[in-house]
Structure 1
Amino acid sequence: METKRYTKETVSQAAKRIQAGELIAFPTETVYGLGADATNAEAVSHVYQAKGRPSDNPLIVHLSTKEQLNQFVAEVPERAIKLIETFWPGPLTMIFEIIPGSLPSVVTGGLKTAAFRMPDHELALALITEAGVPLVGPSANTSGKPSPTTADHVLHDLAGKVTGVLDGGATTVGLESTVLDLSVPEPVILRPGQIVAAEIEAVIGKLGQANALPTDQQPKAPGMKYQHYSPNARVLMMPVGERDWSEAILKLQTEGVRVAILASEEIISMNQLASVGSFALSEGDNIADASRLLFAGLRQLDESSNEIDTILVQTYPEEGLGLAYMNRLKKAADNQYI
């Protein structure tokens, strides 16, 4: 099929395709999502097919109003109401026990829970409102590859597989939302994101500690079980605080490895690297810029040259937003350091 590019002026046309059970990728503040009517099991099944995504990996339901949550959750707890008032619309996903039968099992992965969020993006909210239904919205990419942060990234992966993409320009956050499990007595973060634990605890008190997911257990949220964010080239991480990359580059080159680097402008210029290519994450050690550009950098380096064997990537301390950045980078690198 031909994949059409929709714009702000043609949101209503894109919404009609959603109503017809088709797939429309849409921008959020985090990454682009692959939208389908969350109440239409057949439409949602096509999302898994288009992405090549494992069917036991549950999907996040995207809402355009806070009131829509009441269609699926019998009683929204007080702590959730406080979080909604503080962080919605925004990059916080919350998991609740749902009303039995209120969502197809293909959305929940057969679980009694589901994840919900209200994106902070004008076009996403307009699309959901115009369609008149909540949307599932997993990242609009081939499963396992770096998440898309522009409409062009979506088209690179899914052109011909989906009806269209609503083009809202580059995303502003660049990493997927924080996922908070509120279906348990002591809330826990299952996936870190821009909204960090300290901000959540300031609203509802101390959070619990999430345990690693056993290999035979079904995940309650995206990004918990399967390999994610990996380009075709191998990704290696440079240890935190390492400033002289020259020795590492030279070692790889003597082994016949063609290296590109993903790091700050300062690191790129300081080391005068003889690499195949480079992509600047930020002017200085700016974790917000690095997070916003991580996926775009992995994609650009991977696609810019077939001469690249390995992408060497700057790491950050695992605190605050650095926790979310490193969560994605470790998955992209399969936990491999130089």
Structure 2
Amino acid sequence: MIEEINNCLTTLKRGGLILYPTDTVWGIGCDATNADAVDKVFALKKRAESKSLISLVSDYKMLNQFVEEIPEVAYDILKYAAKPTTIIFDDPIRVAENLIAEDNSLAIRVCKDPFCNKLIRKFRKPIVSTSANISGQPTPKSFDQISPEILKGVDYVVNLQPSKKSAKPSTIIKLTLDGKVQIIRK
């Protein structure tokens, strides 16, 4: 696992794209603070920039470094969530501008997967995570369902099997600073 993490770090630091197993599905990732790398993700996925991407952080401390103000309820939601849960926060900071949605929000998940968590901790910055498919096509449920176009379009493919076989996208919840909670995806 250490060699895979080091290979990912090298790729991320030079603005490249990785294909990696997350706590949900196989994801395309890049440095969430590098606008050029984020552009490469949008291009590879053939995704409109108006459609947001998710970023992964390693823990609450990192979450606090990239969101201006976190509503208290966020910690309760994350503490009691039965499955991986992504929260859309208002007022993200210190991330690539093209990662921030038009309404000045960003979807972030505290990732508990051992590989991802170690990778993010060593990288010391959030990593973009978006499903490993072309926009509009089904999300691959396993590595062998990932299209050749995606495999060829990334700079590094992690050689590990995911630790959990959930193969389902995360729950997505939008939290606003005025206390509104909206479930986007169950």
Question: TM-score with structure 2 length normalisation?
Answer: 0.88
Q: Distance in 2 between matches of 1:24 and 1:173?
A: 20
Deviation of 1:8 (Å): 5.4
Q: Distance in 2 between matches of 1:15 and 1:68?
A: 17
Secondary structure of the structure 1 residue equivalent to 2:6: helix
Deviation of 1:39 (Å): 0.6
Q: After superposition, what is the alpha-carbon deviation per residue over 1:224-253, rounded to whole angstroms, capped at 9, x for unaligned?
A: xxxxxxxxxxxxxxxxxxxxxxxxxxxxxx
Secondary structure of the structure 2 residue equivalent to 1:138: strand
Deviation of 1:155 (Å): 5.5
Secondary structure of the structure 2 residue equivalent to 1:85: helix
Pick the aligned partner of 2:167 from 171, 174, 195: 174
Compared CA separation, residues 155 and 10, structure 1 to 2 (3 A) = farther
Deviation of 1:77 (Å): 1.8
Q: Distance in 2 between matches of 1:130 and 1:149?
A: 27
> In structure 1, what is the equivalent of residue 57 of structure 2?
63
Q: Percent identity?
A: 31
Aligned residues: 184
Q: Is the 8 A contact 1:123 1:168 kept in 2?
A: no
Q: Distance in 2 between matches of 1:50 and 1:29?
A: 22
The reply on whether 1:131 has 2:123 as its aligned counterpart is yes
Q: Distance in 1 between matches of 2:169 and 2:2?
A: 23
> In structure 2, what is the equivalent of residue 83 of structure 1?
77
> In structure 2, what is the equivalent of residue 26 of structure 1?
20
Deviation of 1:15 (Å): 1.3
Q: Is the 8 A contact 2:19 2:151 kept in 1?
A: no
Greater radius of gyration (CA): 1
Q: Is the 8 A contact 1:150 1:169 kept in 2?
A: no
> In structure 2, what is the equivalent of residue 74 of structure 1?
68
Deviation of 1:147 (Å): 1.2
Deviation of 1:91 (Å): 1.0
Deviation of 1:22 (Å): 0.2
Q: Distance in 1 between matches of 2:41 and 2:111?
A: 19
Q: Distance in 1 between matches of 2:102 and 2:147?
A: 30
| Shift >6 Å, 4+ stretches | none
> In structure 2, what is the equivalent of residue 211 of structure 1?
none
1:216-227 aligned at under 5 Å gives the runs none
The reply on whether 1:96 has 2:95 as its aligned counterpart is no
Structure 1 residue runs without a partner (length 5+): 1-6, 193-338
Deviation of 1:52 (Å): 0.8
The reply on whether 1:49 has 2:51 as its aligned counterpart is no
> In structure 2, what is the equivalent of residue 17 of structure 1?
11
Q: After superposition, what is the alpha-carbon deviation per residue over 1:1-29, rounded to whole angstroms, capped at 9, x for unaligned?
A: xxxxxx55321111111111000011123
> In structure 1, what is the equivalent of residue 109 of structure 2?
117
> In structure 1, what is the equivalent of residue 144 of structure 2?
152
1:193-232 aligned at under 5 Å gives the runs none
Q: Distance in 2 between matches of 1:44 and 1:185?
A: 30
Deviation of 1:117 (Å): 0.3
Structure 2 residue runs without a partner (length 5+): none
Choose between structure 1 and 2: higher strand proportion: 2
